[in-house]
Structure 1
Amino acid sequence: MRIALIGLGKMGANMARRLLRQDIEVVGYNRSPDIVNQLAEEENLIPAESLEAAIAQLPAPRIVWLMLPAGEITEQTLQTLPGLLQPGDIVVDGGNANYHDSQRRAAALAEQQIGYVDAGTSGGVWGLDEGYCMMVGGERAHVEPLIPVLQALAPARDAGWAHVGPPGAGHFTKMIHNGIEYGMMQAYAEGFALLQGKSEFELDLGQISELWRHGSVVRSWLLDLSAGFLQQDQQLANISPYVADSGEGRWTVMESIDQGTAAPVLALALQMRFASQDDTAYANRILAKMREAFGGHAVKSE
């Protein structure tokens, strides 16, 4: 079996490696050719110098899997592809896309008899060794040809991947997954901050995080990762307190508003990320001045 993988960033490159090591032939294209050449040399990737060249090396019906950043580059690529493909071909978007965009794109490609599958992909940099969790949306007729690829990417042939619903359902499921991730990460962060703040007990956060990994109801892979770095460095003094948000947390909170479904934990976790990104902290400056104005409380100067 042969597919084209377009976009060989950190996740895309490791997905290519995992597929190639399980006898799936991969034609790879990336705007920066260095990773293409590296994978060709190390893993026998079939290199392509352009999107057109990648598709030209595929047998019909073609499968083109995109691992591109959400936004303009994905949109441009999906507008270009119909002119290069034929009826019966399948496009898979494995990046983080808004599910509304996925529904629109599926409908547009269907008019040209080209299949569209949205594959929410979780696993990060660990996916090469551990496998990826694949949340797949699309018509059954378009998903079934992908099963060997999904089985190769997943942790096991019968676990870690699922066809969850029609077009858009895969990216919707991944969006909610990421919203939950925000909440879990925020809860762990606040808990460890409270432990670290109780200086009189001289708590060993590395020891406690390792303790919680065994038998505790709060054990998880996120805790496993936290235990790993806390055992090396508990103070994290060299880490900037800035936490980015990739967009899916925002989409999750917007969905809760659209549905009228309460999601206060997810919403507050997102707001805490925004707070970490506020370089000016202007709102806090306003708060300090209000306290000074009504109560004569001292204001600290930078």
Structure 2
Amino acid sequence: MAQSRPKKLWNKNKFALLFLSPWLIGILAFGLIPMLTSLYLSFTNFDLFRAPGWVGLDNYRTMLVDDSRYTQAVSVTLRYVFLGVPLVLIFSLSIALLLNKGLRGLAIYRAIYYVPSLLGGSVAIAILWRQVFGREGLFNQFLAIFGIEGTSWITNPDYALYTLVALNVWQFGSPMVIFLAGLRQIPKDLYEASSIDGAGKFQQFKAVTLPLLTPIIFFNLVMQMINAFQAFTQAYVIGGGSGGPLDSILFYTLYLYEKAFQQFEMGYASAMAWMLLVMIAVCTALLFLTSRKWVHYES
């Protein structure tokens, strides 16, 4: 008697499914189920102490209409993303171009420049950064050499966000290494041909390097944008966990943490998490749509 199609597929793939089962169980138990639970809780007033009560779209309406701190958190986060990400890409690409000149000991320089990316998200570095930009910090001591009297940049609402942008730029190691790998893949023949045609260094960079590097730029842009939207540790430590002076560094994730683990509004926090997912998805989709205009693949 011939076996049914499902049974044939099972017999053919059962060992593959067996070896994949730990991953499948993990993604189901720690990924899909928590996500669906969070989606359900976003429509409730769950506070950890009582059973969830269905409130429909009230959490989302409150966020978008009644919660002024939520609006401030979105504003601060968007400014951080749209200011910090381009600066990281420009700085990391500049360093990669310098390292691509064939320096001796390139591996050592590459390792040194990558260290900030390993340490930048740690609590210790955030505390150090708070000291650097404090009233008696190293930055003000540097300004004093030129006779400039500095301020406490961390506690000044006009400048606090820019200190976090500077910290983000300092963590340029990861995109720098990716840019360097991309630069190494550009054929030297193209530079030689453009040089014969009379192109200078800037023209070579504009006509050869940038077009061939656009897929790498696009990848780094998407990854850095997603990471910037999720920034938390730096703002929590430097701002004392409260969003800093006048909520000037009230990042979205910091406000979400406050709602969830200080005020125990888990339903509201779940709604915030899903709104963050929507914002990241929309920005990523826009990048993919616009990439057709400026990202050039070899094919």
The TM-score normalised by the length of structure 2 is 0.28
- Which has more radius of gyration? 2
Larger RCO: Structure 1 or Structure 2 (Cα < 8 Å, ≥ 6 residues apart)? Answer: 2
The TM-score normalised by the length of structure 1 is 0.28
**Which structure has greater helix proportion?**
2
**Which structure has greater strand proportion?**
1
